[in-house]
Amino acid sequence: MPVTVVLDPTAGAFVWLHMAPPIGDGFRRSYRKLLRWNDEFPFVKFSLAADDRPIAAVEIPTERLDRDALGLGIARLLAICDLLLEETAEWIWIGGRVPEAGTRAGRNVDLLDRYADRLGELGLAAPAEPS
């Protein structure tokens, strides 16, 4: 999943990633999910890109912007995507079925491990039940 960082000297940095391809059908139900997640995850904001792809974003204020804050922001986004995998499966895979992981290891394990003690409940919570 590509992560985008925009540095703005007046605002700090906005870090976001596209969580899935454009949302096709069931738009209203998907939009309700994004709104619910905005309440459940106060340090991340969910929205739609111009092409209707769902986005998760974090903002890092200028006074706190450094390499560590940027790494934590990226780790937070990735942890939330992992946490919401079951709920977003219908957006990502035909039929909404998550493929078996098998012996495949995630590419972000080292980053998530590095910030695990600062991700709080994101590292421990089970995925929410689909609505």
Domain ranges of the chain: 3-123
CB within 8 Å of 45: residues ≥ 6 apart: 38, 56, 57, 58, 59
Residue partners of 116: CB distance under 8 A and separation at least 6: 123
Residue 130 has a pLDDT of 43
Secondary-structure breakdown of the chain: helix, strand, coil percentages, each rounded to the nearest 5: 45, 20, 35
- Record the tokens describing residue 9, joined without a space: 């000297």
pLDDT in tens, the chain (131 residues): 556 666 666 777 778 778 877 776 667 788 888 889 999 988 899 998 888 888 999 988 888 889 999 999 999 999 998 889 888 888 888 888 888 877 777 788 888 889 989 988 776 443 444 44
Q: Give the number of C-alpha atoms closer than 13 A to the C-alpha of residue 75, restricted to the C-beta side.
A: 21
The pTM score is 0.73
CATH node for 3-123: 3.30.1460
Cβ neighbours of 109 (radius 10 Å): 9
HSE, side-chain direction, 13 A CA sphere, residue 118: 15
